[in-house]
Chains A and B, each alone.
Chain A
Amino acid sequence: MVSKGTCHRLGDDVNTDYVIASKYRSMGLDFKAMKEHLFEDLDPGLAARMKAGDFIVAGKNFGMGSSREQAPLVIKEAGITAILAKSFARIFYRNAFNIGLPLVETDTDKIGESDTLDIDLDKGMVTDSSKSLELSIKPLPGFMQELLKEGGAVNYFKKHGKLPEV
């Protein structure tokens, strides 16, 4: 996957309640409606500023807290191409790959708000053209790369009749 976009900078320990508050999970499977409330308790204006093709860039432990799969699903619904962070919480990490949302583990300290990024998942490289900065990506286990390639666990299962071998 190769993509170019603008980033929205967030801090450390962004929890999944901040991604989508629990009360909005009563909207069931209506992710379009939930999208209006993305990051509402963290930064009420952020959802309106996000556009398709953008990236989220965060510090450490992104996605901590609740196991809600609605969190990566709503981020995906908003058109975010990938999330870059220094580290991810474990349940969010699994959920994101399962739904086909790429997570990029890299040192995000020098990436600034609204920087333009080029991400090449195949080469394992992030370029911040606003800062002339090149960052390497922590490689993924093979079966998670396969999941991403097929766009998540459901698509993989539909195509292959099973989930990838670990």
Chain B
Amino acid sequence: MLKARGKTIAEKILALHSGREVSASEIVLAQVDLLMGHDWNTHLTIQVLKDMGVEKVFDPGKAVLVLDHAVPSPNEKVSEMQRATEEFAREQGIRFYPSGQGICHQLLPEQGHVAPGMLVVGCDSHTPTYGAVNAFAVGVGSTDTAAALASGHLWFRVPQTMKVLLENKLPKGVYAKDLALRIIGGATAEGANYMAVEFGGSGVGHLSMDARFTLSNMAAEMGAKAALFEADEITKTWLAARVSHPYTVISPDPDASYSRFLEWDLSSLVPQIARPHRVDDVVPITELEGTRMHQGVLGTCTNGRLEDLGVAARILKGRRIFPGFRLIIVPASKEVLIEAIRIGILEDLVESGAMIIPPGCGPCHGASQGVPRDGENVISSSNRNFKGRMGNNKSFIYLASPASVAAAAVEGKVVDPRKYLG
């Protein structure tokens, strides 16, 4: 008789939510624990619900709506879209975060909405970010969001899982963002399409929660459907201050079946940079040293957390940013901003010449502030460098770690940040 093989985290969470044992490639109807929408998509979701004739969502307690994509509103059209989202939240009794509270992908885990073992559906491609706290979190569009809001369920194909084994510790000046870029550079933009990614190995224990959120967030850039970490003591300590209800941690079976293995020795990594206009066009930053940069963006759902601001402050404290260079800093949430004020790093950043804009998506998707000029190069801690992404298709976006953004701000060009972090 064939021995049943073990299960991945993705298979286990989807089994728990569909009431039966499941294996990769099956299609299941699963119960959703939490739904997320924001100001750039919710007006469409509302229209779909209206068209379907659905007046009441299935369970308003299972939904969260956030205004983050262009805050505060840059024009009257955005104001009306944001009004639609806010009014819908009020009418339905859905938990609502107004402008300036933070980016949805920071707020949901930070405010304790996400716990291990949950199945979360977000109307945004970077929803896999919550996999850092051991949740199966998946991005969908507005019609799927509407269907799940209306019924509490959504169909999924149980994904194959790519296992990413991390060993040892990142060297000084090298960060989770560098690792994420290196992984995507090797795996390509479709390397994990339709797959879950499961991070494991002894190196995970050296990664902070902020670092894990960065890795889960960036997995979306190789097409990942979910990007899961196991919950260890670091996770549980982080969750202790945020989640009050009991939760069950989900670990993979030792004999779980993976469709692909990647293995990285973290100690051998160097700072990386993605060239325009592809996230998977990644080279060691030393290859582009000296390339003139005109603007820097530090923030977004990838790298706008306290550690990210902290490393930038270490580099910028007591220094001035390069004449003419614009450094735009967007804390990922109000909590991050307040903490940055409290420990004094915000003063260091502003003193150096950086601009601070309110918690939200900021310049990342080109819909409000920080649009670069024609012909300019931008170095950003965000996750996408597609042509025109920041609102001007005649500019060029490079992706790198917060340290690399800060170092470029000092010199007005691409530099290896390790020289500032000895």
**B40: CB under 8 A from chain A?**
yes
Please name all residues of chain B whose beta carbon is closer than 8 Å to the beta carbon of A143 when the two chains form the complex: 155
CB within 8 Å for A67 and B155 given contacts A17-B384, A27-B77, A61-B189: no
**B144: CB under 8 A from chain A?**
yes
A121 to B388 Cα, complex, angstroms: 35
Chain B 225-249 per-residue mask, 1 if CB under 8 angstroms from chain A, else 0: 1000000000000000000000000
Determine whether the beta carbon of B40 is less than 8 Å from that of A22.
Answer: yes
Please name all residues of chain A whose beta carbon is closer than 8 Å to the beta carbon of B189 when the two chains form the complex: 13, 61, 64
CB nearest neighbor in B for A156: B52
Determine whether the beta carbon of A22 is less than 8 Å from that of B51.
Answer: no
Determine whether the beta carbon of B140 is less than 8 Å from that of A158.
Answer: no
B250 to chain A, nearest CB (A): 22
| In the complex, chain A residues 5-31 whose Cβ is within 8 Å of any chain B Cβ | 13, 15, 17-18, 21-23, 25-29
Please name all residues of chain A whose beta carbon is closer than 8 Å to the beta carbon of B142 when the two chains form the complex: 69, 95
**B168: CB under 8 A from chain A?**
no
Determine whether the beta carbon of A95 is less than 8 Å from that of B388.
Answer: no
Which residue of A15, A65, A66, A69 is within 8 Å of B143 (Cβ)? A69
CB nearest neighbor in A for B70: A26
Please name all residues of chain B whose beta carbon is closer than 8 Å to the beta carbon of A95 when the two chains form the complex: 140-144
Please name all residues of chain A whose beta carbon is closer than 8 Å to the beta carbon of B87 when the two chains form the complex: none
Count residues of A near B (Cβ-Cβ below 8 Å): 42
**A4: CB under 8 A from chain B?**
no
CB nearest neighbor in B for A61: B190
**A32: CB under 8 A from chain B?**
no
**A81: CB under 8 A from chain B?**
no
Determine whether the beta carbon of B193 is less than 8 Å from that of A157.
Answer: no
Chain B 356-381 per-residue mask, 1 if CB under 8 angstroms from chain A, else 0: 00000000011100000000000000
Which residue of B28, B77, B393 is within 8 Å of A26 (Cβ)? B77
Determine whether the beta carbon of B141 is less than 8 Å from that of A69.
Answer: yes
Chain B binding surface SS class: loop
**B29: CB under 8 A from chain A?**
yes
CB within 8 Å for A154 and B48 given contacts A13-B189, A40-B388, A64-B189: yes
Determine whether the beta carbon of A91 is less than 8 Å from that of B77.
Answer: no
A10 to chain B, nearest CB (A): 14
**B100: CB under 8 A from chain A?**
no
Determine whether the beta carbon of A67 is less than 8 Å from that of B139.
Answer: yes
Chain A 101-124 per-residue mask, 1 if CB under 8 angstroms from chain B, else 0: 000000000000000000000000
| In the complex, chain A residues 28-71 whose Cβ is within 8 Å of any chain B Cβ | 28-29, 40-42, 60-61, 64-70
Determine whether the beta carbon of A41 is less than 8 Å from that of B388.
Answer: yes
A70 to B81 Cα, complex, angstroms: 14
| In the complex, chain A residues 139-160 whose Cβ is within 8 Å of any chain B Cβ | 141, 143, 152-154, 157-158
Determine whether the beta carbon of B141 is less than 8 Å from that of A91.
Answer: yes
Determine whether the beta carbon of B27 is less than 8 Å from that of A141.
Answer: yes
CB within 8 Å for A28 and B190 given contacts A22-B366, A22-B367, A67-B124: no
Determine whether the beta carbon of A65 is less than 8 Å from that of B384.
Answer: yes
**B278: CB under 8 A from chain A?**
yes
Determine whether the beta carbon of A25 is less than 8 Å from that of B40.
Answer: yes
A89 to B223 Cα, complex, angstroms: 7
CB nearest neighbor in A for B156: A166
CB nearest neighbor in B for A73: B44
Please name all residues of chain B whose beta carbon is closer than 8 Å to the beta carbon of A25 when the two chains form the complex: 40, 367
Determine whether the beta carbon of A65 is less than 8 Å from that of B47.
Answer: no
Which residue of B75, B143, B278 is within 8 Å of A98 (Cβ)? B143
9 interchain residue pairs of minimum CB distance: A41-B388, A69-B141, A95-B141, A98-B143, A22-B365, A61-B190, A69-B142, A67-B125, A41-B393
Given contacts A28-B81, A68-B141, could you give 20 more A-B pairs where the C-beta distance is less than 8 Å?
Answer: A17-B384, A18-B388, A22-B69, A22-B365, A23-B365, A23-B366, A26-B70, A64-B189, A65-B125, A67-B125, A69-B141, A73-B44, A87-B190, A91-B140, A95-B140, A143-B155, A153-B48, A154-B51, A154-B52, A157-B147
5 contacts between A and B (CB under 8 A): A23-B366, A64-B193, A64-B223, A67-B127, A95-B144
Residues of B with Cβ closer than 8 Å to A? 27-29, 40-41, 43-44, 47-48, 51-53, 69-70, 75, 77-78, 80-81, 123-125, 127, 139-144, 147, 151, 155, 189-190, 193-194, 223, 225, 278, 365-367, 384, 386-389, 391, 393
